[in-house]
Structure 1
Amino acid sequence: MSLSPFHLAIPVYDVALARAFYNDVFGLEEGRSSENWVDFNFFGHQLVIHGHPKTPGQESAHTNPVDGHDVPVPHFGVLLEWDEWEALAERLKAQGIEFVIEPYVRFKGQVGEQATMFLLDPCGNALEFKAFKDKSQIFAK
């Protein structure tokens, strides 16, 4: 399957703080920018942070239960290869990142087994990083 890069623009109420987070925590390459927005290469996709007043979702996140955890909604992220996910999880732990849901393997030993972790950027945007043991399960019903 050939994928096209997606474009996602998210609100941040402190552009400088969010810019530092995406630079320092993930080491993302910057593209174009202005005083009010910054483009990032987010694992091959275009992520744009836009200055915006704090949203209700950033004030208090809604959650839905999944596999015994409260998953923040909305959230976004990227699917990684299993070894890339493990390396990212270790790197984030070593940086002392506070997780909403600590890195773990969901549905272990079952069809759809996946590694997942959730964290917030400094403006309250929820991110999920995951990997599937069997990539054919990504879109399975």
Structure 2
Amino acid sequence: MTSRPAVHLAVPVDDLAAARRFYGEILGLEQGRSTDHWIDWNLRGHQLVTHLVPAASAAAGTSDVDGHRVPIPHFGLLLASEEFHRLAERLRAAGVEFLIEPSLRFAGRPGEQWTMFFRDPAGNALEFKSFADESQIFTT
């Protein structure tokens, strides 16, 4: 059996039903195992676990990136362009409020990318992005 590196990420949520709706129905992630205080999600082969932590607070600060105040901490995925724009429309249709609207960052420069930021119902910041050229993900 060949294995590939995968990320395990645990995030606090204050309402598992809201997490189930957001991560399962809105983001479309497949649900794995769960109990009455956590839910596993398949984040493209990576394990995302939403843990019930009453009164959880994820906000720590922001960082300036290409003219935007990016929330710290945050997590997310790199998507193909078409998938990025479909997700943005699905989020809009679900009434999700963007912290940073879907926008083009670093236009015409190495690492050009579409990006968007929003929060889950517990306040965890998420970023989804799509690079114009995936070979430039780590280009300086």
TM over 0.5: yes
Unmatched segments (≥5 aa) in structure 2: none
Q: Percent identity?
A: 57
Mapping 1:13-32, distance limit 5 Å:
13-32=14-33
1:120-139 matches, cutoff 5 A? 120-139=119-138
Give, in angstroms, the shift of residue 64 of structure 1: 0.9
Equivalenced residue count is 138
Residue 12 (structure 1) aligns with: 13
Matches of 1:5 and 1:81 in 2, distance apart? 19
Residue 73 (structure 1) aligns with: 72
Could you say which residue in structure 2 is the equivalent of 1:119?
Answer: 118
2:113/2:132 contact within 8 Å kept: yes
Q: Assess, with a 3 A threshold, how the Cα gap between structure 1 residues 57 and 114 changes in structure 2: closer, same or farther.
A: same
Partners of 1:117 and 1:26 lie apart in 2 by 14
Query: What secondary structure does 1:19 align onto?
Result: helix
After TM superposition, give the deviation of residue 99 of structure 1 in Å: 0.4
**SS of 1:46 mapped into structure 2:** strand
Q: What is the CA–CA distance in structure 2 between the aligned matches of 1:75 and 1:54, rounded to whole Å?
A: 18
Q: Which amino acid aligns with 2:41?
A: F
Q: Distance in 2 between matches of 1:73 and 1:54?
A: 18
Partner residue in 2 for 1:98: 97
3-state SS of 2:28 partner: coil
> What TM-score, normalized by structure 1, do the two folds share?
0.89
| Distance change in 2, residues 1:26/1:57 (3 Å) | closer
TM-superposition CA deviations, 1:79-135 (whole Å, max 9, x none) = 111221122112212222110000011011222100000000000000000011111
Partners of 1:98 and 1:130 in 2: CA distance: 17
Matched, 1:48 2:49: yes
- 1:116 match: secondary structure: strand
Distance 1:91 1:3, change over 3 A: farther
- Deviation >2 Å, runs of 4+: 2-5, 53-58
SS of corresponding position for 1:18: helix
Q: More displaced, 19-28 or 69-78? A: 19-28
Q: Distance in 1 between matches of 2:13 and 2:73?
A: 14
